[in-house]
A and B are shown apart, each in its own frame.
Chain A
Amino acid sequence: MKRVLVIDDEVAVLRHFMVLLTQSQRYEITVLSDSTRALETVGAGKFDAVLLDMAMPGVHGREVLRGVREHHPETAVIVITGVEDSQLAVEAMQLGAFDYLYKPVGEDQLMLTLDRALEECASGREAV
């Protein structure tokens, strides 16, 4: 099963994503609300994908994204955030995010994006 990590400072959002992803029975879900521990968690967990919020107290999502791309390039990062900031979206894509989604994200769109990310990341790994 693909391992997916969700990072968001709001616990209710984390629970929602956890249940939503569990429904599909295809992923192994880990959630994290403390962004200061993000890199350490990603490093320990060998995740295939990370769903990442941007505006978080502690470490900003931008920094988490940068760190993950640098130290764990095999992990795909999908940014899901409530901040409709096109500049931030462009910045996230430049930093190597797989996609940038705005909350609220419908279930279908989330699954589609996540599967595409996982597929791409798997083919990338084979190529390596």
Chain B
Amino acid sequence: MQDLDRLLREEELLARLDWFIRLRWVFLIGLTLMIAATSQLLGIALPYPHILAVGGIIFAYNTGLYLYHSFYTRQRPPDIHATRIEANLQIGTDILALTAMIHLSGGAENPFIFFYLFHAIIGSILLSKIEVWTHGSLAYAQFLSVLFLEYSGILPHYWLTPLYASPRHQNLFFLLGVGIALLITLFGTIYMSSSIAHGLRIREMELQLTRRMLQKKSHDLEEANRELREKQAQLVQSEKLASLGQLSAGVAHEINNPIQFIQGNMRILNESMDTILPLLDQHARGNPDLTVARLKYPFFREHIKTLLDDMYTGAIRIADTVRDLKKFARLDEGKMDETVDVNEVVRAGLRLVQNKIKRYQVIADLDLELPTITGCTNKVEQVVVANLINAAEALGERPGGMITLSTRAEDGGKSIRLSVSDNGPGMPEHIKSRVFDPFFTTKQPTGGTGLGLSVAYGIVNEHGGWVEVAGAVGEGAMFTYHFPVKRGAG
């Protein structure tokens, strides 16, 4: 609260320093008019050269300050410490100049002794309590000193002839009256204006606090909104996978049966060609115009084996896709209540795909204190394998390819995280947002089915976990899977 009070005051001070200078110009104009009025109209005999000298000094330092602020401080960041010192110096100098003016124009007889109040008010608004009370006391002490010095004759007294019939600088009652009047008004003003300024600042402070609170609230809300959108996107993804899962369960079953006999019969047909073709060859030698299936025999002979091979490979590809689909659709429902040691699963996964990853540097950074989770060992292994294959495919022929697997306990042992990263080409945003989409693949020609990562996604969901993908183009990629130790706890 104290700090904020100071902060607000200092802000005000920084903004008001120019304002001091402008006020002083106004004062100087007023002084000039005053001198003209007193000397010409009222005919008061005052030491005008002295007064003009003091006015000249004020004019000189105000000009200096004006130039300093116009050309020097404007290009600099505001320095509050320097500003405060300057403000104190300015007010101190002004009080000194005012005291000199008062002395030169009648001392206690001068009705303008209440000019001190201006300084009191400005000081109360812009300076700290100690500073303003110090300035007030110094001003009052200066004034008393002038009275004393004039009273004792050490300084001359300039008598305001037309206002007073006789000089009053040695009239103790008059001096006492003026002294007490100034004492009360000066310190009363300091007290009142500083407490009003303080009250206003507190109100402003409260406003600022409220504003900050509102800002924080709205920031929190934005954050919450963003999280909500993310969660919603995840939900949509799970929903998409779930419906596709149901659909593919049926499709997989329908395809699996015919694929069984297509694949099997193809093998028989292929094998039978070994017998049939030599017989046909023999026959063709006696019949040069022989055609088979509307094809001239040499053409047929040249291509038939390849055609059959193509079919066989094609059938295997269909079978592979169906197998992946089945996994995806969780037709092979695994038991979900096993105790799974993810470190062990990682080691097994590495052994399984050893052939695919042996050309890369593989780092397994395993947390040996990793808690076990509850779930299905085979399925978690699928997650590891799918990611290793994905990493290997991302790395391709890259020299210096590196795959890092790491496991860590997190959330105070309530969950674990498994991450697989590679230093491959990374992914642009539009690919990153689709990596878990079923059938989304960037390696169509090499025969990726586009199901590996979506299967992994489904498995992690099934374990009550969640997934993170990181890495932009040129930064490699990192897939992180979080599994709760106990399902339903996460």
Task: Using CB atoms and an 8 Å cutoff, list the residues of chain A in contact with chain B.
Answer: 9, 11-12, 15-16, 18-19, 22-25, 55, 57
Contacts and interface: CB of A to CB of B under 8 A. Distances in A.
9 closest A-B pairs (Cβ-Cβ)?
A: A12-B310, A23-B294, A57-B445, A19-B303, A23-B295, A22-B295, A15-B306, A15-B310, A15-B307
Nearest to A56: B445
Nearest to B309: A12
A18 B307 CA distance: 11
B299 A22 contact: yes
B313 interface: yes
A23 B293 contact: yes
Contacts of A19: 295, 303, 307
Chief secondary structure at chain B's binding surface: helix
Given A15-B303, A15-B306, 18 more contacts: A11-B310, A12-B310, A12-B313, A12-B314, A15-B307, A15-B310, A16-B307, A18-B303, A19-B295, A19-B303, A22-B295, A22-B299, A23-B293, A23-B294, A23-B295, A55-B444, A57-B444, A57-B445
Contacts of A22: 295, 299
Contacts of A12: 310, 313-314
A45 B488 CA distance: 66
Interface string B280-295: 0000000000000111
Nearest to B445: A57
B445 A16 contact: no
A111 B168 CA distance: 130
Contacts of B444: 55, 57
A18 B306 CA distance: 12
B299 to A, nearest CB: 6
Interface of B: 293-295, 299, 303, 306-307, 310, 313-314, 444-445
Contacts of B310: 11-12, 15-16
Nearest to A14: B310
Contacts of B299: 22
Contacts of B303: 15, 18-19
10 contacts: A12-B310, A12-B313, A15-B303, A15-B306, A15-B307, A15-B310, A16-B307, A18-B303, A23-B294, A23-B295
Contact of B445 (A9, A15, A23): A9
Nearest to B446: A57
Nearest to A55: B444
A19 B294 CA distance: 10
A25 B314 contact: no
A15 B300 CA distance: 12
A15 B96 CA distance: 107
Contacts of B294: 23-25
B305 to A, nearest CB: 11
Contacts of A55: 444
Contacts of A9: 445
A9 B299 CA distance: 23
A16 B444 CA distance: 20
B425 to A, nearest CB: 16
A86 B345 CA distance: 44
Contacts of A11: 310
A57 B445 CA distance: 7
A55 B306 CA distance: 24
B199 to A, nearest CB: 69
Contacts of B306: 15
A22 B299 CA distance: 9
A82 to B, nearest CB: 10
A24 B478 CA distance: 54
Nearest to B299: A22
Contacts of B445: 9, 57
A60 to B, nearest CB: 12
A67 to B, nearest CB: 21
Contacts of B313: 12
Contacts of A15: 303, 306-307, 310
B439 to A, nearest CB: 12
A11 B306 CA distance: 11
B87 to A, nearest CB: 71
A11 B303 CA distance: 13
A23 B307 CA distance: 14
Contacts of A18: 303
B282 to A, nearest CB: 23
A107 to B, nearest CB: 11
Contacts of A24: 294
Nearest to B300: A19
B279 to A, nearest CB: 21
A127 to B, nearest CB: 34
Nearest to B313: A12
Contacts of A23: 293-295
Nearest to A58: B445
A22 B306 CA distance: 16
Nearest to A57: B445
A113 B303 CA distance: 25
B22 to A, nearest CB: 70
B170 to A, nearest CB: 107
A94 to B, nearest CB: 24
Contacts of A16: 307, 310
Residue among B293, B306, B310, B314 having the largest count of chain A Cβ atoms under 10 Å: B310
A22 B300 CA distance: 10
Contacts of B307: 15-16, 19
A57 B446 CA distance: 11
A57 B313 CA distance: 21
A51 to B, nearest CB: 17
Contacts of B314: 12
Nearest to A12: B310
